[in-house]
Amino acid sequence: QVQLVESGGGLVQAGGSLRLSCAASGRTFSSYSMGWFRQAPGKEREFVAAVNWNGRYTYYADSVKGRFTISRDNAKNRVYLQMNSLKPDDTAVYYCAARAGQDYSLRANLHDYWGQGTQVTVSS
């Protein structure tokens, strides 16, 4: 069992930055690949970024590539999402998710555990 708690969301102006953090419980954090997803009002949940178990491999949605960076610290049981050059279209609830296994997935339904989400609002 893994519990995930996101933090770091908030209100920021377009062009600004935020750093999301996701704290995971348990001693097997390195057994999971991690992902960030987001859901805007009236839209389906969408993939944002993923990282494999040791942080060596990452993948990004085209919409955030070059602006967002995912990273993890297995010693601290945390995964991060650094978001730069934020746009109003980035406004959403952001969720971190854990998938058992070493390889990441872009598919939400292949993740085993989810956090409660943190709101990110980007004003124009």
pLDDT at 27 over 80: no
What tokens does 62 get?
Answer: 């085209």
What tokens does 111 get?
Answer: 């993740």
Report pLDDT digits (tens) over 43-77.
Answer: 999 999 999 999 999 999 999 999 999 999 999 99
The predicted structure's pLDDT at residue 102: 87
Instruction: Single out the residue of 109, 81, 76, 110 nearest to residue 93, CA to CA.
Output: 81
Residues with Cβ within 8 Å of 107's Cβ and at least 6 positions away in sequence, in order, are: 47
Q: Are 74 and 55 in contact (CB under 8 A)?
A: yes
Model confidence at 5, in pLDDT bands (50, 70, 90)?
very high
C-alpha dihedral (22, 26, 28, 34), degrees to nearest 10: -20
Average pLDDT for the chain: 96
Average pLDDT over residues 108-115: 95
The DSSP call for residue 57 is -
